[in-house]
Structure 1
Amino acid sequence: MEKGTTKLRQGWADVEISGLSADSRNIRPGNLFAAIPGAAIDGRRFIDEAIAKGASAILAPPNTHLDASRKKIPLVIEANPRRALAKISARFFNTQPKTTVAITGTNGKTSVAHITQQLWNNLGKKAASLGTLGVVGSCNLNLSKLTTPDPIELHRLLHNLASKGINHLALEASSHGLSQYRLDGVDIQAAVFTNFSRDHLDYHKTMAAYLDAKLRLFRELACDGGTAIAYSGAPEAAIIKAIAKRKRQNYISYGPVSADISVVEKCQTNDGWSATIQAFGKTYPVMLGFAEKFQIHNLLAAIALVHSTGTPLKNIIPKIQTLIGVPGRMQPAGKSIAGGTVYIDYAHTPDALKNALFALRPHITNKLILIFGCGGDRDIGKRAEMGAIACQFADRVIITDDNPRTEDAGAIRRSILKGCINAREISDRREAIENTIAQLECGDGLLIAGKGHETGQIIGNEVLPFSDFEIAKAALGGAP
C-alpha cells in the first residue's frame, strides 16, 4: 500500500489474515475480502456476503461505508484498491522466483517468454514462463486463461514456483494486466518492449491509453537499476530509453544492425536460418531452427533478457541451436496427400497477420491460402483492416468463426468481408479447415490463423473443445 493513500477504520492494526479473495463466493473465515468496483460489477455489493462467510477485513475504495453492526470488521480504505491488493498479495505469499523478467508489446510476448525459458533451462537453470500458454517449464501448476492472472493468483503462482525450486521466470505482461495493476509487487529485474500496433481498443479505447498501459511496466514496475530492453525499430523505443535513463537502468536495444544486439547476416536453409549475431561489438555464427523470419527478433530479445540477468553471451550462444518452436506460433501441422503444407498461428491482430503471411510466402511454391476470423466482444475496428491485409497478401482467403463469444458470428464475418469482398465465407471453423485441406494442391501453403495453441472455441458463454492443430492433423490423415 502507498504512503498517504490508505486509511484504516477504527484504528485496527493487528488483524490476522488467513487468505485473500476478491470473489465473495471464495471467502473463508479469516480471509480479507477485496471489494473492488469492476467494469460490470461493483465488488462492494458483496461485502455483506463476505462478512457473513467470516471475512476478517475488507479492502475497498473511498466512499465505502459499513453500518454500525459491522463495527468490529476492519475496513481498509485505499485510493487504489487494485494496486493495494497486488501489494498485499505479494506480502502475503512472500516468496517469488529470484530472477523475474517481463515482456510486453502487441505481438511476440509468448515467443520471447518461451524462448527465454528454454535458454535458461538449457543453461542448467530451473526456469519457467508464465502467460498465454500457461506455466511452461519443469513444474505442474494450473493457470487461468488470462495472459496475466489476477494479483492473488499471480502471487500464489510465484510462491508455488519458488517453492518448487524455480528461480528464473519469464512473465508475459499484458496491457490489461498492467492497467489493472495485476503485476504490482512482482520484483522485475528486466523488461522487454517488442512492438506496438493496433489491438484491445475495445478495452483501452485509444492507442494513447493502450501505449500508456504498456509503458507502466517500465515507468513503475521494472526495478531501478535493472534493465530496459526495446526493439530499436519501434518508435516507442526512444520513450523507453528516456525512462531507463531516469530510473538509472541499463538500456539494451535489439533489432536492426545498429542495435546493441542484432543479426548482421542471415541465409535461409532447409531447417531454418544460418545467421551471424552481433552483440556489443562481437559476432557469433549461429544456426536457427525456425523458419519464421520474425522469430529472429524474438530470439534477440530473449538473448538480451538472459544476458542482462547475469549469463555471459559466450554461454548463451551455443544453446540457441537447441531451441524448439513455440506451440501455436507458425506451428507446422503437416502435409496433405497432394503435397500442400499446413501451419497454425495465433496471429489475431492486423500487424501479426501481415507478418505471418510475409513469413510464409518464401516457403510457398504455389498458392498461399488463409483461414481466419475475428473474436467477438473485441475491437471491431480491426476486422475490415485484417480482411484487407488477408486479400492483399494471400492468394485465397476463407473467412470463418474465431471465438464469437456473445456477438452475432455472422455480423463479425460481414465486418471482415468489408475489407475482403472476394473471400469465401464458411461459418463452421471445422468445416472450413477440413474443406480447404481437402482441396490443397502440391506446393500450396495453408495458414490457419487466430487461435494458435487454444483448445477451445468460445460461443456465447460456453467454451467448446476445439483445437485448430488437432483438427488439421486429423484432416491431413496419415500424410507425413
Structure 2
Amino acid sequence: MKLRDLLGDDAVLDERSGAIDVTGVALDSRHVKPGDVFFALNGAKTGGSRFIAQAVASGAVAVVAGQASAGELNVPLVVVSNPRRAVALAAARMFPKQPEVIAAVTGTSGKTSVAAFTRQIWEHQGLSAASVGTIGLVSRKRTVYGSLTTPDPVSLHRTLHEIASEGVTHLAFEASSHGLDQHRLDGVRVNAGAFTNLSRDHMDYHPTIEHYLGAKMRLFTDLVQPDGSAVIVADHEHSQIVIGAALKRGLRVMTVGRKGHDLKLIDATIDGFGQTLTVEHQGRSRRLRLPLVGEFQIENALVSAGLAIATGSDADSVFAALEKLEGAKGRLELIGERNGAAVFVDYAHKPDALEKALAAVRPYAKRKLAVVFGAGGDRDAGKRSVMGAIASKQADDVIVTDDNPRSESPAAIRAEIL
C-alpha cells in the first residue's frame, strides 16, 4: 500500500512521499517494524514526539503527528489536525475486512453483558458471530482475553479483519467513553448502536458528566451508519437526550424497558436463579423465562434482543434465544454455594453497578448478605466513599479489600472507602 492510500484525505503529501510503500501501522515505537508508519500520539503522561527517533531507527518509513518535530528526520513527517482519528482511519484502510453486521453498545454499565448476549442470540440462529470488549474476543473459533474495553484502533481493525477473514459475519462490541472520545472506533462500519444507562464513572478522565455523556453520544452522532439503528433503554435520566440525538441523525430508534415503546417490559418475577418476564413487542405479549439474576440483566437482555431484531433477526427466534442465555464471565456470575449460601462474582467497580448487584442478590440471602470489594488505584477517587456507603447500607457484612492499587497506597484507598 502507498502512503497516499493509507492516509487518504487526512493528509497533504507531495508526490514523492505519497508514493512510499507502506507495510504496517504502529502506535508503539518498540513495536515498529521496517516499512511501518509510526503515529506519534500523545498519551496521558508522555508526548509521542519523544519516540519518533526510536521509531525511525527501527525502520519506520514515515511519521504522522499532530505537530512538527524539532529534530531533522530522514523520513517524511506528516502533520495532521487529529492524529488519533487519522490512525484509526489508516488502520481501517490497512485492514479493510469487517463483519457484515456490526452492533456497538455504550453506557456506564451493561456493555459486556449486552455484547455477549447479542453474540449468543446470533449464534442460536446459526450465524457466525463474535463479541469484543472487556473480557476480550469471544467467538466459536477462539477466545482471546483482553485488558481494555475498547482496544487501540490498530488492534481493533486488525481483529475485525482477521475474524471477517475467518468467516465471522456478525459482531457485537463494547464502545467505551475513552474509546469514543479518542476516536479508536472511527472507521468501523457500525450498523446499530445501543445505549444502556449513564451514571458516575471515569471522572478522573472526563471533567464533567456532560463531557462523559458527550463522549458516549459520538456513537450515535458520528459512528452508526446514516441508515442504521439505535436501541435505547428508555427508563433512565439521560435516555431522552440520546433518543433525540439518534432521531436528529435520522437513525431508526427502538426503545426498550419498562417505558419502552418497541420492547416493553410489562412484568418480571423471580423464578429460582432466573426470572419470568412478560414483554410486549409490536402489540404482542410474550412470556418467557430469562435464566439470569437481577433486573438490570433484564434491561441488558432486552437491549440485546433489540440489537438482534434491528439488524435483521426474526423476533420469534430472538425471544426463544433469550431463554438460553448464559451470563458473561464475572457479571453477577453464580459460582457455587458454601454452607447453603449462594456465592456470586460481579465486576461492579462503580457506585451504580455495586448498588444494582447488591439489590439483585438480596433475595437470595437466606440470613445475611456479605460483600467483599475494593477500588482500583489511579482511577476516579471520588466514587470510593460513595461505594463504601452503598455497601454499608445494603449489605449486612462488608469486607473492604484491595483491588489493583497501581501507583497508590492500598491502605489509603481502603481508608477512602471506609
Q: TM-score, normalised by structure 1?
A: 0.83
1:108-131 deviations in Å (ceiling 9; x for gaps)? 000101100000001100001100
Question: 1:258: how far off?
Answer: 4.4
Matched residues, percent identical? 43
1:400 and 2:401 equivalent? yes
2:78 aligns with 76
Greater than 6 Å deviation, 4+ residue runs = 1-4
Q: How is 1:161-176 mapped onto 2 (pairs within 5 angstroms)?
A: 161-176=163-178
Gap change, CA 1:257 and 1:199, over 3 Å in 2? closer
Structure 1 residue identity aligned to 2:61: S
- Name 2:280's counterpart in structure 1: 278
- Identify which range, 196-205 or 140-149, moves more after superposition: 140-149
- Cα pair distance change 1:9/1:410, threshold 3 Å: farther
Q: Does residue 49 of structure 2 align to residue 57 of structure 1?
A: no
Match of 1:129, SS state, is strand
CA drift of 1:59 comes to: 0.8
- Give distance in 1, aligned partners of 2:415 and 2:361: 26
Q: Secondary structure at the match of 1:278?
A: strand
Which 5+ residue runs of structure 2 have no aligned equivalent?
1-5
Report what 2:42 is aligned to.
37
| Alpha-carbon distance in 1 for matches of 2:333, 2:343 | 9
The 1:136/1:368 distance shift into structure 2, 3 A limit, reads same
Inter-partner Cα distance in structure 1 for 2:221 and 2:281:
26
CA–CA distance in structure 1, aligned partners of residues 360 and 178 of structure 2: 28
Give the SS at the match of 2:328: coil
What does 1:200-279 correspond to in 2, within 5 Å? 200-279=202-281
Code of the aligned partner of 1:27: V
Provide the TM-score with structure 2 as the length reference.
Answer: 0.95
Secondary structure of the residue aligned to 1:297 is helix
Q: State which of 290, 293, 315 in structure 1 corresponds to 2:292.
A: 290
C-alpha distance 356-271 of structure 1, shift in aligned 2 (>3 A): closer
Partner of 1:117: 119
Separation in 2 of the partners of 1:200 and 1:183? 19
SS of 1:352's partner is helix
1:334 aligned partner = 336
Distance 1:273 1:142, change over 3 A: closer
Structure 1 position 233, deviation (Å)? 1.2
Residues 346 and 365 of structure 1: CA distance in aligned 2, closer, same or farther (over 3 Å):
same
* Aligned match of 2:356: 355
Shift of 1:245: 2.0
Question: Which structure would you say has the larger Rg?
Answer: 1
Per the TM alignment, residue 63 of structure 1 is displaced from its structure 2 partner at its CA by 3.3
Q: Which residue of 2 aligns with 1:386?
A: 387
Match for residue 3 of structure 2?
none
Who is 1:475 aligned against? none
Contact persistence 1:8–1:75 (CA under 8 A): no
**Paired residue for 2:371?**
370
Q: For the aligned residues, what is the CA RMSD? A: 1.7
How far residue 15 of structure 1 moved from its aligned partner, in angstroms, is 1.7
Cα distance in 1 for partners of 2:178, 2:336 equals 35
Match of 1:85 in 2: 87
Matches of 2:396 and 2:97, distance apart in 1: 52
Cα distance in 2 between the residues matched to 1:143 and 1:57: 32
CA offset digits 1:403-453 (Å, max 9, x no partner): 111100000000000xxxxxxxxxxxxxxxxxxxxxxxxxxxxxxxxxxxx
- Correspondence for 2:306 among 304, 309, 313: 304
Give the distance between the partners of 1:326 and 1:391, measured in 2 at CA.
Answer: 27
CA contact (8 A) 2:305 2:318 kept: yes
State whether residues 255 and 297 of structure 1, in contact with CA within 8 Å, keep that contact through their aligned partners in structure 2: yes
The unaligned stretches of length 5 or more in structure 1 are 418-480
Correspondence 1:7 to 2:12: yes
Within a 5 Å distance, the mapping from 1:121-200 to structure 2 comes to 121-140=123-142, 142=144, 144-200=146-202
Higher alpha-carbon deviation: 202-211 or 191-200: 202-211
DSSP 3-state at the match of 1:7: coil
Q: Secondary structure at the match of 1:370?
A: strand
Number of residue pairs aligned between Structure 1 and Structure 2: 413
The 3-state SS of whatever aligns with 1:348 is coil
